[in-house]
Structure 1
Amino acid sequence: MRIFVTGASGWIGSAVTAELLAHGHQVVGLARSDSAAATIAALGAEVRRGSLDDLDALRAGATDAEGVVHLGYNHDFSDMQGAARTDQLAITTLGDALAGTGRPFFIASGVAGLSRDGVPATEHDGGDPSAHPRVANAAAALEYANRGVRAGVLRFAPTVHGDGDHGFIAVLVDTARRQGVSAYVGDGNGAWPAVHRLDAATLVRLAVEKAPAASVLHVVAESAVPTKAIAEAIGRGLDLPVTSVPAADALAHFGWIGMFFGLDMPASSEYTQQQYDWKPTHPTLLEDLDAGHYTKS
């Protein structure tokens, strides 16, 4: 298939692009900059210049493709509603272009805010739009299943890890270096799901190839990695003491990521693994931390 991928030059998108190409698909990647275009071209994919705000470019990319994977997102925590509005318009534009074609259309979302009382969220759980604005966008994407599109949602773990990751875990490592201590919030029993970048890319490809309309997949390899264990692994890697920070002091200690690090958000992918014969094989989050991928100078 000829697949149009937004976010194709990013941390997840570049792995997805390589995975699709390796399995015989053609990829057209959206690039908003020269550096993004160079990354996409180096992977062996075709480049389409444009941004998530460029609705004409999105429309043209979807119309010319046999499927769409929408991974691009503006992760601006200072304007979460604005980022969500941009995403909503992108989803609507892409979905409208695919209406009636039966082609695959999979968008990225997340598992945050889905679990209740420490019970792992499943693929059958609905999201609460008040927890994160992307929840409503995911619901909008699934509506295209009623308009002749093989639409689905990929709910990613908050940590998609691996060598070269500059996401949440890298921010926690930088915070530990700056503070001189590796900390966790409260008793550290809050847990984050995690998935290796390459395992995530495999599941995205499987979704494009065979997931039916209205599918919800959990891109989660580890259901619940305790935040205390994450802090301890960071402490080992940096040779720093490990301590607890009261929840009331989390923002002061961690900065913006303090809003998230204390959350308990376990999520299961048992259904996804069974349905799509997806078996994560790459290192776990703690194995990546202990390998020094995040703490090396």
Structure 2
Amino acid sequence: MRVFVTGASGFVGSAIVKELLSSGHQVLGLVRSDSAAQKLTASGAEVCLGDVNNIEIIQRAASTCDAVIHTAFNHDFSQYKANCEADRIVIEAFGEALMGSEKPLVITSALGLLNYDRPVTEDDALQVSSTIVPRAASEEAATAVSAKGVRVYVVRLPASVHGSGDHGFIPVVINTARDKGESAYVGEGHNRWPAVHRDDAAIVYRLVVEKQPSLKVLHAVAEEGIAFKQIAKVIGDGLHLPVISKTGDDIAAHFGWFAHFASIDCPSSNKKTVEQLGWEPKGAGLIEDIKNAGYL
């Protein structure tokens, strides 16, 4: 298959490109810079140079491929809502380009959108609105596109997609601990983060385009839920800092804009994803990676 991958030079996207190429597929990767284009070419992929928000470019690229995997997302949290709405427009544009073709469109969502007193499953529909939780815009767009007959899949990623070179949530927690001189958790620290190694997540995306399963929402989750206190402890131990609970106003004082994410309790199941894809995550666990993958 020839697969169009957005965010092809990103932390997750680059792993997907590598996984697809090693499995014998062709890749057309969207990147924004000449340096990223050079790396993509060196990997054996074709380059589509441009911005994901350029609708003409992405629709033209999608029309030349057998499948689309969309991972690009602007993680500038100072304009988070605007970025989420921009993602809605991109997904709807892909839907227009693929309508009537039966080519699969695989989009990316976040497991932190759902919160229950039990592990989130693939059957759990999004209950929040983008007016309340901006990131919900991506799944809302996927639903709208699917209603028009496009073959859409949603891959929900956990709070931590980890591995060497990670620049996501765990580095934020580590840098905050360094800045504050203590590694913190919220309350008793029992809130749980699901996690997956990025190489295992990349396999999920590859298997989706290959198998095109009946399951339309999939969970790229290797570890159902790791207590945030355990994450804070391994960081504190590694940095030789005290490990402290934060409550009340001290939560925001320590974590700032990240307080919401530090409080997320979102254990998540991968049972149906494993059953339908035959996926077997084999990468290092989150705690092992924090210790050994260069995070500290």
Asked if these proteins are the same fold (TM beyond 0.5), I'd say: yes
1:84-123 equivalences under 5 Å are 84-116=84-116, 118-123=117-122
Q: Give the C-alpha shift of residue 213 in structure 1.
A: 5.9
Unaligned runs of 5+ residues in structure 2 are none
Distance change in 2, residues 1:188/1:247 (3 Å)? farther
SS at match of 1:153: strand
Q: Deviation string for 1:6-39 (max 9, x for gaps)? A: 0010000000000000111100011111222123
Matches within 5 A, 1:56-75: 56-75=56-75
Q: Which moved more, 1:144-153 or 1:243-252?
A: 144-153
Q: Contact between 2:111 and 2:159, CA under 8 Å: does it hold in 1?
A: yes
Give RMSD over aligned pairs.
1.5
Displacement of 1:89: 1.0
* Cα distance in structure 1, aligned partners of 2:99 and 2:215: 14
Counterpart for residue 34 of structure 1: 34
Q: Which residue of 2 aligns with 1:83?
A: 83
C-alpha distance in 2 between matches for 1:42 and 1:135: 35
What does residue 151 of structure 1 align with? Answer: 152
Aligned partner letter, 2:279: W
Deviation at 1:144, TM superposition (A): 3.3
Residues 40-88 of structure 1 show CA distances to partners (whole Å, capped at 9, x for unaligned) of 2222111001112211111111111111000001112112221012111
Q: Does 1:200 align with 2:201?
A: yes
What is the aligned partner in structure 2 of residue 223 from structure 1? Answer: 224
Matched-pair contact (CA < 8 Å) for 1:196–1:221: yes
Instruction: Return the letter of the residue paired with 1:120.
Output: P
Using a 3 Å threshold, how does the CA distance of structure 1 residues 176 and 11 change in structure 2: closer, same or farther? same
CA distance in 2, matches of 1:18, 1:140: 27
Deviation of 1:247 (Å):
4.1
Deviation at 1:277, TM superposition (A): 0.9
Identify the residue that residue 275 of structure 1 maps to in structure 2.
Answer: 276
**SS class of match (2:112):** coil
DSSP-derived class of the 1:217 partner: strand
Matches within 5 A, 1:251-262: 251-262=252-263
AA of the residue aligned to 1:182: S
Residues 31 and 48, structure 1, Cα contact 8 Å, conserved in 2: yes
- Secondary structure, counterpart of 2:38 in structure 1: helix
Distance 1:213 1:54 in 2: 31
The equivalent residue for 2:238 is 237
Equivalent pairs counted in the alignment come to 294
**Against the structure 1 CA distance between its residues 113 and 145, is the aligned structure 2 distance closer, same or farther, given a 3 Å change threshold?**
closer
- Structure 2 counterpart of 1:177: 178
Distance apart, 1:255 and its partner CA = 2.1
Does residue 14 in structure 1 map to residue 14 in structure 2? yes
- Which amino acid in the other structure matches residue 126 of structure 1? A
**1:126 alignment partner in structure 2:** 125
Cα distance in structure 1, aligned partners of 2:209 and 2:248 = 41
CA distance, structure 2, for counterparts of residue 292 and residue 87 of structure 1 = 31
Query: Which runs of 4 or more aligned residues in structure 1 lie more than 3 Å from their structure 2 counterparts after TM superposition?
Result: 142-148
Identify if the C-alpha distance between structure 1 residues 245 and 3 changes in structure 2 by more than 3 Å, giving closer, same or farther. Answer: same
The residue type paired with residue 193 of structure 1 is P
1:142–1:153 contact (8 Å) kept in structure 2: no
The corresponding residue for 2:24 is 24
Corresponding letter in the other structure for 1:282: G
What amino acid maps onto 1:262 in structure 2? Answer: S
Asked if the contact 1:142/1:152 (under 8 Å) is kept, the reply is no
Shift of 1:95: 1.1
Q: Secondary structure at the match of 1:79?
A: helix
**Aligned-partner SS, 1:112:** helix
Alignment partners' CA distance in 1, 2:135 and 2:68: 18
| Structure 2 match to 1:190 | 191
Q: Show CA shifts across 1:172-196 (max 9, x none).
A: 1111111111111111011111000
Are 1:264 and 2:265 matched, yes or no? yes
